[in-house]
Amino acid sequence: MACNVPRQVGATYKGLWTKVKKNKQHRQAGYTKKRYKGLDQAPHYTSPTLTYNYGRDYGFKTDQQVSVLTLTGRIVLPYVGYAPHVALLKNSQTLGAAKLWFDKPHKQFYLLVSIALTLPDPTPALYTRVAGVDVGQRNTAVVADVDETSEFYSGKEVLHQANHFARQRKRLQHKGTRSATRRLILLAGRERRLKQNTNHVVSKQIAATHPHSLVGLENLTDIRTRTTPRKTGRRASPKQRKANAVRSKWSFAELHSMIAYKAALNGSLTVKIDAHYTSQACPTCGHTSPDNRPHKGLLFVCQNCQYTLHADLVGARNIALRTLLIRQDWISTGLLSTTPDVSDREAEAARLKRYAELRWSSDANVTL
């Protein structure tokens, strides 16, 4: 246990230094003027967490019991958990390190165990379907399959509740009394848990409805820095500041990671594809223009062929088409590219040219 303490502290400082370097790059690029202050003081650990090594600090026994090491010796305790996860623990899987975590509101301890699953080597024959997932804020996710099926997962209610929690937290912080501080402790993490639970539910449904599929996800890495800089601080209006706050809380990376590992458990595979112009390109004629989305709304109207559809569904269909192209390249070359290289401008231009030749046909389904 003593050996794991410096590992945890070292990992914390590694994350802080990463944020410092990112902040320096953003200040040089003009994205922000604020200096990151995470290293001005030593990090303070408040939650009673502890890292255990399997076989040395903890182990599982019969009758659903776990043996854990404490400062006063080893103890054996019964445990309960989610039935599918408990079944994985009982099978012959590779167990890794675990973290003992204390839930302060419920006053309960949780043992978070990492399990390494052995999956078969991916081949094109294992994935008989192709789907594309478009993530957003008004719609948490929109899924389009090449067999003309589609699914919408609305994020309107979650966004409304999250904004309510943010306003409530702001009022309590401005008040600053003891009772307000106690209330803030009760509200701590409620907005985060709400979005995390929503991402869990949405990713579980997507993985369950698309087994044995090649699922395409947009490559949204550094999307906030790659988009047009917006007005911030005093230069921005209250409406712009509110919009910036909403965008900064967009948890698309968490949703992508949940879809990835849950899809793997259902026999599917996720790949990253180019996110350029997925909501501006017409899937039927290939015409790409910002005018295809009047007033940047949810209605897509192609200025060339007058094709009309929901803008998020258009994005999901374009992602599905690009995923199908990746699968075809995989079959012909035997190599699977799970993430496109966005640093090479010439390669990116060549990919966009190929994407412009893709066509979505509503008369006949795509055969694999």
pTM (predicted TM-score): 0.80
User: What residues contact 110, with CB distance under 8 A and at least 6 apart?
Assistant: 100, 101, 102, 103
Amino acid at 46: T
Q: Is 238 within 8 Å of 294 (Cβ atoms)?
A: no
**pLDDT tens figures, 59-80:** 999 888 999 998 899 999 999 9
Query: What does the pLDDT read at residue 368?
Result: 39
Angle between helix 311-333 and 345-355 (nearest 10): 110
**Roughly what angle, to the nearest 10 degrees, separates helices 238-248 and 156-175?**
110
Residue with tokens 């410096």: 6
**pLDDT digits over 227-248, tens only?**
555 666 666 777 777 767 766 7
Residues linked to residue 340 through DSSP beta bridges, in sequence order: none
Q: CA angle at residue 368 from 149 to 341, to 5 degrees? A: 90
Question: What's the confidence (pLDDT) of residue 226?
Answer: 58
Structure tokens at 144: 């389009």
Residue 320's pLDDT is: 93
CA nearest 1: which of 58, 62, 65, 84?
58
Please report the DSSP string for 189-212 in residue order. THHHHHHHHHHHHHHHHHHHHSTT
Q: What is the pLDDT of residues 197-229, one digit of tens each?
A: 999 999 999 999 999 999 999 988 766 655 555
Could you give the CA distance from residue 142 to residue 132 in angstroms, rounded to a whole number? 8
pLDDT digits (tens, 9 = 90+) for 309-326: 999 999 999 999 999 999
Task: Report the alpha-carbon distance of residue 136 to residue 256 in Å, rounded.
Answer: 12
pLDDT band of residue 336 (cuts 50, 70, 90) is confident
Query: Is the CA virtual torsion 314, 320, 321, 326 positive or negative?
Result: positive
What's the pLDDT at 367? 38
Q: What is the mean pLDDT of the chain?
A: 86
Q: Any idea how long the chain is?
A: 368
> How is residue 252 written in tokens?
């698309």
* 28, pLDDT greater than 80: yes
Q: Are strands 129-135 and 58-61 parallel, antiparallel or unpaired?
A: unpaired
CA distance 201 to 255: 10
Q: Which of 105, 115, 112 shows the shortest CA–CA distance to 49?
A: 112
pLDDT at 353: 86
DSSP 3-state assignment of 281?
strand
- The pLDDT of residue 334: 87
Report residue 6 as tokens: 């410096």
Tokens of 325: 């192209």
